[in-house]
Amino acid sequence: MKSTEPPFASKLPTDGSGPRVALGVTGCIAAYKAIEVLRGLQKLGASVQVVMTRHATEFVGPLTFQAISGAAVITDMFAATDDPEIKHIQLAGSINLLLVAPATANALAKFAAGIADDFLSTLYISTSAPVLVAPAMNAEMWLHAATRDNVARLKARGVEFIDPSDGYLACRTVGPGRLAEPADIVHRAWEIARLSTGVGLTGQAGDLAGEHVLISAGPTYEAIDPVRGLTNRSSGRMGYALAEAAAGRGARVTLISGPVALTPPRLVDIINVRSAAEMYSAVMDRLDTATMVIMAAAVADFRPVTTADQKIKKAGDGGLTLELERTEDILAAVGRSKSGRIVVGFAAETENVLDNARKKLLEKNADLIVSNDVSRADAGFDVDTNRVALVTGARVEELPVLSKRDVADRILDAAMKVKPRQASHLAGQPD
């Protein structure tokens, strides 16, 4: 089983300044796995208040969660207390995330219908904090039309899901419905909670306040005809992770995105584009107000000189010859107009990785180049992890394999270190 403790855990807040999470546990056999979720969140520095439904207590005793969390477990909506505050309202207003793991079909139905007949369902309808749900149930229940409808309704309201996996279920069948791995639940919960609090990888809450971060992400698409085009394998995940991280640390964020299948991060102004020319115009139109530019998009280097108005038909056994021309070099254009802003570029390479990154740093007049070997299975396109080197004029920092969200924080940390040097340079002082 994967560990829920990442290699950077020692750098995260453990003094109560971390995110505040309400962990809802509902009644199914997977309730015992919520103990691992609780422990994983605590290792990352989160404060966790456990809320159990009555049926959940039939599977795991509240005392187990209390012993691990160090706080009394809430199981009763109307339990007597010395606290004069209305408990569900107090908790609803103080948390950074409501995580429900496991969530039964019954819990999803109540959330979708707005039924508030116990503490957890009342907490759900009372809080404005983000909500993350990890369902667990029999495969037929998960696939039932009523459950699918409830999931769709909740997603439309902004509830995030970690869908169950396929596996051997308690009912002795195999299919979708098995609770996602606790480590995966912890990882996603931490990302959302950290964004809500504005705490970065190194615990720098709000350190980007006052910055306008302009980020490009995803591929571009250069049309050949109405149905064909030239593009690349970029998923946009790295750029979207950067946008989420920057927003979570207090920045105003503008995300200029090529065509991707991703949900935009919260608190981000998104501009959708398609071609390199459109991305160039969108970046340059918004450059004046940006204090930091991060060019994470995989922009096509070439496009067809002409685009056919109609679909090109096959003619006999002959081939097709395309005449290509260079697209706009957006990073170079930003570097030429750098002024006092921080400029970060990416170098996706398959050979001579660091040498090419250093060359790009100079040629594009950038402050930082994020270099990675995209031929690696853990750092290429369309994966959740990345392994990069942060290249500046002064040093090279090679990072281990991390999630793209954690790499995003490291990139922002490195970019902010550039700022004092820039400020002293602009003032005519030695670096």
Residues with a catalytic annotation lie at: 171
Q: For residues 412 and 422, what is the distance between their CA atoms, to the nearest angstrom?
A: 15
Q: How many helices (H) and strands (E) does the chain have?
A: 13, 21
Q: For residues 413 and 261, what is the distance between their CA atoms, to the nearest angstrom?
A: 27
Q: Which residues pair with 389 in a beta bridge?
A: 371, 398
Nearest to 254 by CA among 220, 291, 221: 291
Quick one: tokens of 80? 């007597």
Q: In sequence order, what are the residues at sequence separation of 6 or more whose Cβ sits closer than 8 angstroms to the Cβ of residue 19?
A: 45, 46, 47, 96, 97, 190, 193, 194, 196, 197, 199
Catalogue the E-assigned strands of 180-335. Answer: 212-217, 222-223, 229-230, 252-257, 269-272, 292-295, 302-304, 324-326
**Is the backbone of residue 316 left (phi > 0), alpha (psi -120 to 50) or beta?**
left
Cis bond upstream, residue 259 (ω within 30): no
Go through the chain and tell me how many residues it has: 431
Q: For residues 223 and 228, what is the distance between their CA atoms, to the nearest angstrom?
A: 6
Residue pointed to by tokens 């999470």: 21
CB 208 within 8 A of CB 251: yes
Burial-class residue 287 by CB neighbours within 10 Å (0-12, 13-18, 19+).
Answer: middle
